[in-house]
Amino acid sequence: MSCEPSLSHLDRNPSPPSDLEWGMQDVADPTAAEPPRAQGRVLKAVAKVWPGFLTGAVEGRAHDLIEQGRYDDAVAVLERGVERFGARAVPAVLLAWCLHTAGRQAEALTWVARAVDDDPEHADALWLRADILFELERPEEATASLWAAVELDPENGRYYMQLAWIRYQDAEYAVTRDLVEQGLERAPDDAWVQHIAGRIYDHHLRHRRAQRHYERAVALDAWNTVARLDLAELLQARGRCSAGVRTAWETTRLEPLAAADAEEARSVYDTVLRRWPWRWYEWALRAAVVLNALDWMLPTPRAADWALIGAVGVPYAAGWVRSLLVLPAPCRRDLVAKGRRGPFAGTVARTLAVAGGISLVLLGELNAVQHLGVLALLALAYAEWFRRAYLIAQGRAAGGEPAGRH
């Protein structure tokens, strides 16, 4: 999943079309028939005398397609304008960004280089070039291009955040954090900046800070589906299983959603639903490991064993039931819907087996070798838990579709 920033501030908001612009619909529409030769000569003449007219017409149509998420079609519109009226009819940086968003990085690099050559002090063009170079796995050149953009516009928080994003995997945390904080200081109300800050802190396991930035990103842009889904998964990572499910479910209900966003939202929702009982099973395994170790090192009388079982079992059972009840009713139904009912029942059965088994361990009089055997069984159960947790994350457990997120 790509995390590149939107260049929506580069898009133009075209004014209402004039009569002449209505006549340009076939120019901006890649499916339209070729105009008569005479009309083509007139339009080329217009391009020489009034290039802004053609730029606005072609770019206006591309803007509409971009708003619909149809980047390939937007590229076709812009390329058609270049083919028929020359490079002056299309902003090079806009075509470069559309090509970049459509995944055509080599062509995007050619056009963004043209934009930089035309205006070396175009900070946004330098920023876009850095993003394209990063996608082409040329991080050193990308970093140099971004620093050039920073020098031209040192108060742009997005540039600092993009630098942090490029360097977050291989740079020291302190260096990355400094860039993140500079970006946040300069653009505290930018949803993209907040979202990327959350992802970087998430990567470095600063989950509390990551959650705060994800929530801020969603507050600034309620339609930011990627930030919502990142928040849903982070909430589950922090142990708030039901909150994660609810957040993913609410994202699937946003309307209208682009087809790709809707598919991703459904995929993540399916993943967090499957993960819900599996996290509770993990906590049962954790409790069993601790109780086995305590019983091994500190043998207790039968009454104390019963008290310990109640002290751990009752809060666990109450928490499990409460977590289930706070889920929205549609989520509870989806939890045991066709395709998930079997895995859910199997996980509950595993949880009960672990609870019953550790209760017998506490009430019995096991020696050191037997405690080691119990520990070995729990280790095997944990290994199986990790294996299935990985499959759930990939969306392949119990016939699920690949999640395709990370």
d(CA 63, CA 78): 10
Model confidence at 39, pLDDT cuts 50, 70, 90, reads very low
Domains along the chain? Answer: 1-153 (1.25.40.10), 263-399 (no CATH)
Q: For the chain, what is the mean pLDDT? A: 80
CB 218 within 8 A of CB 224: yes
Sign of CA dihedral 212, 213, 215, 216: positive
pTM score, whole prediction: 0.73
Q: Is the pLDDT of residue 19 over 60?
A: no
Sign of CA dihedral 96, 100, 106, 107: negative
What backbone torsions phi and psi does residue 314 show, to the nearest 5 degrees? Answer: -65, -50
Neighbours of 293 (CB within 10 A): 13
Question: In the prediction, which pLDDT does 18 show?
Answer: 39
Query: pLDDT digit string (tens) for 273-330?
Result: 999 999 999 999 999 999 999 999 888 888 888 999 999 999 999 999 999 999 999 9
Query: pLDDT digit string (tens) for 185-200?
Result: 999 999 999 999 999 9
Q: Is the pLDDT of residue 381 over 90?
A: yes
Question: In the prediction, which pLDDT does 61 show?
Answer: 67
Task: Return the higher-pLDDT residue of 202 and 52.
Answer: 202
Question: In the prediction, which pLDDT does 89 show?
Answer: 64
Is the backbone of residue 153 left (phi > 0), alpha (psi -120 to 50) or beta? Answer: beta
CB 225 within 8 A of CB 265: yes
